[in-house]
Copies of this chain bind each other. A is one copy, B any other.
Amino acid sequence: MFESAELGHTVDKETFKAEVPKLRAALLDVQYDVLEKRDFPVVILISGVDGSGKGETINLLYSWMDPRHISTLAFAAPTDEEAARPPMWRYWRALPPKGKVGIFAGSWYSQPITDRINGAMRRSELDERLDDINRFETMLVNEGALVLKFWFHLSAAGQKKRLKALEKDPKTAWRVTKESYDRLKTYDKLQDVAGHVLRVTNTAHAPWIIVEGTNDEYRSLTVGRIVLDAMKRHLAQEDVRKVPVAPPIVHPIDSRNVLSALDLSQRLAKKDYEATLARYQARLSELVRDPAFVGQRSLVLVFEGADAAGKGGSIRRVGAAMDARQYQIVPIAAPTEEERAQPYLWRFWRHLPRTGRATIFDRSWYGRVLVERVEGFCAEADWLRAYAEINDFEHQMVDAGAIVVKFWLQISADEQLRRFKEREETEFKRFKITAEDWRNRDKWDDYVTAVCNMVDRTSTGLAPWTLVEANDKNFARVKVLKTICERLEKAIKDDGKKA
């Protein structure tokens, strides 16, 4: 894998000097084209052996391009806000918006590689992380990003030589620390781990670019030209080249599905309702104050459902059982300008609760496979790939301690009509019925298909869907509260067993 990066590639200083002005002008030019088009972000990973010129190369890119539209993110130990969320949260947060260049000095690869070298991570764990990374990068590419992953390589002798040279120059001596020499000792181990990591993540759509780091001029010119060429090609592409998705396969033999199988006639009498609801609310308020929750868990609630199915009312009953200082409700409306400049899931990542807290999503990332699918707001390939992206997203939350509870509130078409009419007569503005509500109703069957597909493809063991029979509001609300309590209790109990 690293063979061609140990050949002693060099570029002499004159050639370099002669090449740079042209390269620089061209880079600046393409950077401005990308900026004006605002169509995709450029994500550049700079990784590799210590002393191989990572910092120098980044600084050089800054001097060649317009640094005002580049951001560089260096990732050391996570801050406490980062540590309280899934590991990828800090990288999502740092993604450059469309039109801009984001350089990751140290990236999602750094921690897994270091942990594996130190023995803090088993091989099987590493491979799981690499799978996550592959899916993350696939998502970035599908969202249109240009992803360039550089690995700077040095032979063992080359690394030693570079350290000595850096040490000798007073301008660079500060960069050589005891750790630099420690890393020399683990050279073979790093090559071994990096070889594995690079092989497994060397995908066709986000391949590694291995560059020999010994000669500054060679390394710089290589990186500069590759960045230039890749940006040009990406701009010239008519469409975003996406990783293919299989077309939907639907061959229903009968009309039974997860929604038609629901018994919507289930009811709960008022007096039972009040007592039961109060009991579950009291239980929930204890559970979210339990040190076993507060110390290591978070709660993510997702409410989806037909129009007028009673999401708002259910959310209210859940909220009433918690302290307002502990949770946040996120109503999902049209994305803002800053959100539109980012991958689809970015606007949900930003609202993930920290440990000990809860976020209630009133509509969610499932919009992509529901309204956006049915209304044709996104391409078929986009909503088809969303199922896997969503499962990844939720599993990352669960891995970080989140309890993810997802509700689909279902009512019959007749009940919806009744509620629409009732709403038209009330005075509260929040109950206003819009033309859109009536239009959605016309697409009832399309929504049924979309919901059934969604449940089939995203009701996972770690983040299952709960379908709620919601023709009777009392019944629905109690089922919601009960489900949350049970999921919390189970999680706390399981944690107790593990401890």
The stretch among A54-62, A195-203, A245-253 that forms the contact with chain B is A54-62
CB <8 Å contact, B428 and A331: no
In the complex, A238 has a CB within 8 A of chain B: no
- By beta carbon, the residue of chain B nearest A427 is B25
Known contacts A66-B430, A282-B171; A324 and B79 CB within 8 A of each other: no
CB <8 Å contact, B331 and A68: yes
Number of copies: 2
CA distance A80 to B84 in the complex (A): 12
Interface residues in A312-343 (C-beta closer than 8 Å to B): 312, 315-316, 319-320, 323-326, 328-331, 336-338
* Residues in B neighbouring A25, C-beta threshold 8 A: 427-428
Known contacts A28-B430, A337-B338, A429-B32; A324 and B62 CB within 8 A of each other: yes
CB <8 Å contact, A324 and B58: yes
CB <8 Å contact, A325 and B67: no
Known contacts A171-B282, A337-B336; A328 and B71 CB within 8 A of each other: yes
CA distance A108 to B328 in the complex (A): 21
In the complex, A29 has a CB within 8 A of chain B: yes
CA distance A338 to B331 in the complex (A): 16
Known contacts A79-B81, A338-B338; A324 and B68 CB within 8 A of each other: no
CA distance A362 to B324 in the complex (A): 40
Known contacts A337-B337, A428-B28; A331 and B79 CB within 8 A of each other: no
In the complex, A72 has a CB within 8 A of chain B: yes
- By beta carbon, the residue of chain B nearest A328 is B71
* Residues in B neighbouring A289, C-beta threshold 8 A: 174
CA distance A28 to B428 in the complex (A): 8
CB distance from A179 to the nearest CB of B (A): 16
* Residues in B neighbouring A338, C-beta threshold 8 A: 336-338
CA distance A4 to B224 in the complex (A): 73
In the complex, A74 has a CB within 8 A of chain B: yes
- By beta carbon, the residue of chain B nearest A106 is B325
CA distance A103 to B327 in the complex (A): 13
* Residues in B neighbouring A174, C-beta threshold 8 A: 289
In the complex, A255 has a CB within 8 A of chain B: no
* Residues in B neighbouring A68, C-beta threshold 8 A: 312, 315, 329-331, 362
In the complex, A306 has a CB within 8 A of chain B: no
CA distance A282 to B67 in the complex (A): 19
CA distance A362 to B29 in the complex (A): 20
CB <8 Å contact, B428 and A63: no
* Residues in B neighbouring A319, C-beta threshold 8 A: 62-63, 67
CB distance from A284 to the nearest CB of B (A): 12
CA distance A323 to B55 in the complex (A): 7
Contact with B along A412-446 (1 / 0, CB 8 A): 00000000000000011110000000000000000
Partner of A105, one of B325, B330, B362: B325
In the complex, A69 has a CB within 8 A of chain B: yes
CA distance A58 to B55 in the complex (A): 50
CA distance A320 to B81 in the complex (A): 31
* Residues in B neighbouring A74, C-beta threshold 8 A: 325-326
CB <8 Å contact, B29 and A428: yes
CB <8 Å contact, A430 and B32: yes
CA distance A323 to B103 in the complex (A): 13
CB <8 Å contact, A320 and B428: no
* Residues in B neighbouring A326, C-beta threshold 8 A: 74
CA distance A308 to B66 in the complex (A): 16
CA distance A250 to B68 in the complex (A): 37
Can you spell out 16 A-B residue pairs with CB atoms less than 8 angstroms apart? A32-B429, A33-B429, A55-B324, A59-B323, A66-B312, A68-B315, A68-B330, A68-B362, A70-B324, A72-B325, A72-B328, A74-B326, A79-B80, A171-B282, A171-B285, A338-B338
- Partner-B contacts on A (CB < 8 A): 25, 28-29, 32-33, 36, 55, 58-59, 61-63, 66-74, 79-81, 103, 105, 171, 174, 282, 285, 289, 312, 315-316, 319-320, 323-326, 328-331, 336-338, 362, 427-430
Instruction: With A28-B430, A32-B430, A74-B325 given, name 7 new contacts (CB 8 A).
Output: A25-B428, A29-B429, A62-B320, A67-B315, A68-B329, A68-B330, A80-B80
